[in-house]
Chains A and B, each alone.
Chain A
Amino acid sequence: DAGVTQSPTHLIKTRGQQVTLRCSPKSGHDTVSWYQQALGQGPQFIFQYYEEEERQRGNFPDRFSGHQFPNYSSELNVNALLLGDSALYLCASSGYGTNGYTFGSGTRLTVV
Chain B
Amino acid sequence: QKEVEQDPGPLSVPEGAIVSLNCTYSNSAFQYFMWYRQYSRKGPELLMYTYSSGNKEDGRFTAQVDKSSKYISLFIRDSQPSDSATYLCAMSPTGAGSYQLTFGKGTKLSVIP
From A42, A58, A90, B106 is in contact (CB under 8 Å) with A42
A residues touching B (Cβ–Cβ < 8 Å)?
4, 31, 33, 35, 40-45, 48, 50, 55-56, 58, 90, 92, 94-106, 108
Q: How many contacts A-B (CB < 8 Å)?
A: 69
Residues A99 and B105 in contact, CB atoms below 8 Å apart? no
Residues A98 and B97 in contact, CB atoms below 8 Å apart? yes
Query: Which one of A41, A42, A92, A103 has the highest number of Cβ atoms from chain B below 10 Å of its Cβ?
Result: A42
Q: Which residues of B contact A101 (CB under 8 A)?
A: 46, 96-97, 101
Mark interface residues in B84-109 (1 if CB within 8 Å of A CB, else 0).
00001010000111111111111000
Looking at the assembled complex, report how far the CB atom of B17 sits from the nearest CB atom of chain A, in whole angstroms.
24
Residues A99 and B49 in contact, CB atoms below 8 Å apart? yes
From A41, A45, A50, B101 is in contact (CB under 8 Å) with A45
